[in-house]
Structure 1
Amino acid sequence: MDCCATQGLIPVETALETLLSQVSPVSNTHSLALADAIGFVLAEDIRSPINVPPFANSAMDGYAVRIADLEQSLTLPVAGKSFAGIPFEGEWQPQTTVRIMTGAKIPEGCDAVIMQELTTETDAGITFELSLADVKPQANIRPIGDDVSQGQTVLAKGHRLTPRDIPLIASLGINDISVVDKPKVAFFSTGDELKPLGQPLEDGQIYDSNRYGIKVLIERFGCEAVDLGIIPDCPETLKEVFLKADKEADVVITSGGVSVGEADYTKDILDELGQIGFWKLAIKPGKPFAFGQLPNSYFCGLPGNPVSAMLTMYVLVQPMLAKLAGHTKWEAPKSIPAKATSTFKKHPGRTDYQRGIYSINEQGQFEVSTTGNQGSGAFSSMSIANCFVVLERERGRVDAGETVNIELFNASLY
């Protein structure tokens, strides 16, 4: 490749640094019922108001004992029962045992629970089929605060709530939490060649697939999606939609119209309404990616090719929206070395994100092969991939057996 072909292209790392430096997190917060909080970012630390568990309880079904009683006899009559939610009540007489179930409150004075599989029921009571030396103090007893102690910070401000977090917060008895408002992201596709789904294609037309992928990713990134549809290649109409989107959203995302064709008007409109931070990156696919600011919102212009649009959403827009949403615990996908098991074609000049399929061999090493067609319009290869093979900007062709870096898809692509 002629070195001049990449002159003026901004490195991906520089573009991301510039983009993030210009974005400020949303400051508005509100209280939300826990049942509705999935995907929101915490505006405050979650501190436990109670101990969990709030009382010592049994880790299994069995019998509560006092070890001192077992020193006298390994057969003890049953004094009563302690079930989950129905604790043993009354005076626990010496030289007796209490039948206890998993999660039930430990009777006062108990210093061990013996699992029922080590017992035999006899006419004289319960015989414990073990030696006294096998009974350890506090065996099978979960103490107060064993999971969470009162006052403990269980989730920090800036954490985005997952399905694993909701039951944790519920176990603390917390019903309402303070969260950051989800950023609003308005998006639309541009191009006279685009056709909505459900309508027949005419000569030279294609279906608008990008909007469907963009909407899903916006929501997966923890933002509110505002779909403005397909906008024709008309400067007046585009300007009108930009103004509308700028009033309604924190971020405006377009698909298509950021190249250098005669019908690509986006750049001119941005120059008129706002300012452009950068245009054209040293990335493949996705070179014609744009970032800028409108009067009231940020702007991201995605390429029109389907793979390019999804890749730039994933690599560049995702960390931007994470910062905007106050998601301070967000982490970029980790880079993992892997052995190439197929050839990866590449020319120096741009960082290349190729679609790959990774596996782990018998030696526990990562291996990766190409999905095949790496064209920016070949979305089928994106659908079967499970990672990106990230080939450095100045690297050329990769042969089988060489080491490459891969990034496993994070949850937003699954």
Structure 2
Amino acid sequence: MLTAQQAIDHLLSHAQTVTESEEVKTQAALGRILAENVNSLVDVPPLDNTAMDGYAVRIADVHVPGAILRIAQRIPAGSIGTQLEPSTAARIFTGAPVPSGADAIVMQEDCTLPEGQVEQVQINVTPAVGQWIRRKGEDLTAGKTALVAGTFLRPQELGVAASAGLTHLSVKRRVRVAAFFTGDELALPGEPLKPGGIYNSNRDTLLACLKSLGCDATDLGIVPDRLDATRQALRQASKGHDLIITSGGVSVGEEDHIKPAVTAEGRLDLWQIAIKPGKPLAFGAVRKSDKPEDGEAWFIGLPGNPVSSFVTFLLFVRPFILKLQGRDVIAPQSYPMRADFDWLKADRRNEFLRVKINSQGGLDLFPNQSSGVLTSASWGDGLVDCPPGEAIKAGDMVKYIPFSALLS
């Protein structure tokens, strides 16, 4: 069996970034992937401006604290002042352009108005050259790159685009993913449960994961545990989609039809990985038609147990989708953190344990790490990556991967 990293590397070696892009309004680009570098249309800020409410002064006029200057002008944001003459100051407000001749801003807390003198100000400090002045173009420079291709567009990136004067952005089209779920025991919430039946939690979990990554997700529902039905579902899913994901049917039992179905409808390149939870994981491709020129849809088959399905999606499907999207950062952030628990059952497989940060800054372990206990993922806020053959004792430093880094 491949290790987790070997499996990730194998998947990423096959993923090819979608080439199609579209132009959308900047306000509509949240969660999309920038398709090309964009340059700023303007300098930001457009002129030297003040970072504080206060007084614009000439350093030459304030060699020592206590200098008294005449207030010659008032400059609110959105106004342009006049040349600052010697021995004068300009009352100025945050964001307003610094008048020519001024080379420092003194914040109003460092100034006093002499009693009875409304047209004079006393400067009680000796300012440094450039103090509290934001220089023209220090944030963005007209004609220079504001955002680079492959950037995942968060609210702050949309703010940068807006400040650069951009009304529209070219973004990658969304990755199209079809999902279906196998198992005669499955029912949808609201339907009556037959004897031995369970509600399909993987449907809601995985579709939500796909949407959190910005995919166009097609729900093909529950497929009966039959080879012909599975093959038909694969043929349907391959049309118009970049990727097919399934949940269940990837083991080797008589009712597990994913492997023979994918082999019949395409090819299977990977089967089983050395992790826990989630050993059964399939990767391959499904033909879109009998014509080779029509290409293939990628296929990833996930285990049916809900925690296994969720964890393998985060570890393997997520990076594959990010590569298809053309993102510039794929690997999730991880942090060394202190384990406040014992995990003494070292396994030969790479284990991913559901944990939560406690009030002491360490990690607590959910008491039941079964692959069927989805509440362990709801309770937790991340995973501990426990290497093969290693036990964990309280106080050990471990590799912690927050769910927040795996769902964006």
TM-score of the alignment, normalized to the shorter chain, above 0.5: yes
Matching of residues 114-153 of structure 1 within 5 Å: 114-117=106-109, 118-120=111-113, 122-124=115-117, 125-131=119-125, 134-153=126-145
Cα pair 2:24 2:170 within 8 Å, conserved: yes
The reply to whether residue 205 of structure 1 matches residue 204 of structure 2 is no
Matching of residues 44-59 of structure 1 within 5 Å: 44-59=36-51
Partner of 2:293: none
Partner of 1:373: 368
Partner of 1:3: none
What is the CA deviation profile of residues 15-44 of structure 1, one whole-angstrom value per residue up to 9, with x for unaligned ones? 222111111111111222111111111111
Partner of 1:297: 297
Q: Distance in 1 between matches of 2:281 and 2:165?
A: 46
Percent identity between the two aligned chains: 37
- Secondary structure of 1:99's counterpart equals strand
Cα pair 1:190 1:230 within 8 Å, conserved: yes
- For residue 157 of structure 1, what is the amino acid of its counterpart? A
Partner of 2:73: 80
Structure 1 residues 213-222 or 165-174, which shifts more? 213-222
- For residue 322 of structure 2, what is the amino acid of its counterpart? A
Tell me how far 1:342 sits from its aligned partner: 2.0
Matching of residues 335-346 of structure 1 within 5 Å: 336=336, 338-346=337-345
Cα pair 1:221 1:412 within 8 Å, conserved: no
Which of these residues, 212, 218, 234, is aligned with residue 220 of structure 1? Answer: 212
What is the CA deviation profile of residues 133-184 of structure 1, one whole-angstrom value per residue up to 9, with x for unaligned ones? x122222221111222333333222121112211111111111112111110
| Cα distance change of structure 1 residues 83 and 208 upon mapping to structure 2, 3 Å threshold | same
Tell me how far 1:358 sits from its aligned partner: 3.4
Which of these residues, 388, 395, 404, is aligned with residue 410 of structure 1? Answer: 404
| Cα distance change of structure 1 residues 297 and 64 upon mapping to structure 2, 3 Å threshold | same
Partner of 1:323: 323
TM-score by length of 1: 0.89
Tell me how far 1:70 sits from its aligned partner: 4.7
- Secondary structure of 1:248's counterpart equals coil
- For residue 110 of structure 1, what is the amino acid of its counterpart? A
Cα pair 2:318 2:406 within 8 Å, conserved: no
Q: Distance in 1 between matches of 2:405 and 2:7?
A: 24
Partner of 1:386: 381
What is the CA deviation profile of residues 250-303 of structure 1, one whole-angstrom value per residue up to 9, with x for unaligned ones? 000011111122222111111111000111111111111111111121001011
- Secondary structure of 2:2's counterpart equals coil
Structure 1 residues 228-237 or 170-179, which shifts more? 228-237
| Cα distance change of structure 1 residues 94 and 190 upon mapping to structure 2, 3 Å threshold | same
Gaps of 5+ in 1: 1-8
Tell me how far 1:80 sits from its aligned partner: 2.6
Cα pair 2:213 2:407 within 8 Å, conserved: no
**Paired positions, count:** 397
Matching of residues 155-304 of structure 1 within 5 Å: 155-295=147-287, 296-304=296-304
Tell me how far 1:239 sits from its aligned partner: 2.1
Cα pair 1:222 1:325 within 8 Å, conserved: no
Cα pair 1:81 1:87 within 8 Å, conserved: no
What is the CA deviation profile of residues 32-73 of structure 1, one whole-angstrom value per residue up to 9, with x for unaligned ones? 211111111111123223221010111111122233445699
Q: Distance in 1 between matches of 2:90 and 2:400?
A: 57
- Secondary structure of 1:77's counterpart equals strand
TM-score by length of 2: 0.90
Alignment RMSD, CA only?
Answer: 2.3
The reply to whether residue 33 of structure 1 matches residue 32 of structure 2 is no
What is the CA deviation profile of residues 315-363 of structure 1, one whole-angstrom value per residue up to 9, with x for unaligned ones? 1111111111111222233252x443322153532111111223585xx
Q: Distance in 2 between matches of 1:130 and 1:347?
A: 67
Partner of 1:5: none
- For residue 307 of structure 2, what is the amino acid of its counterpart? V
- Secondary structure of 1:44's counterpart equals coil
Q: Distance in 2 between matches of 1:93 and 1:354?
A: 69
The reply to whether residue 101 of structure 1 matches residue 90 of structure 2 is no
Q: Distance in 1 between matches of 2:389 and 2:121?
A: 76
- For residue 319 of structure 2, what is the amino acid of its counterpart? P
Partner of 1:333: 333
Q: Distance in 2 between matches of 1:252 and 1:398?
A: 37
Partner of 2:349: 350
- For residue 75 of structure 1, what is the amino acid of its counterpart? I
| Cα distance change of structure 1 residues 70 and 357 upon mapping to structure 2, 3 Å threshold | closer
- For residue 281 of structure 1, what is the amino acid of its counterpart? I
Cα pair 1:333 1:410 within 8 Å, conserved: no
- For residue 74 of structure 1, what is the amino acid of its counterpart? A
Gaps of 5+ in 2: 288-295
| Cα distance change of structure 1 residues 99 and 196 upon mapping to structure 2, 3 Å threshold | same
What is the CA deviation profile of residues 344-394 of structure 1, one whole-angstrom value per residue up to 9, with x for unaligned ones? 153532111111223585xxxx63331110000101111111221222223
- Secondary structure of 2:113's counterpart equals strand
Structure 1 residues 234-243 or 267-276, which shifts more? 234-243
- Secondary structure of 1:137's counterpart equals coil
Cα pair 2:42 2:141 within 8 Å, conserved: yes
| Cα distance change of structure 1 residues 391 and 135 upon mapping to structure 2, 3 Å threshold | closer
Q: Distance in 2 between matches of 1:341 and 1:115?
A: 49
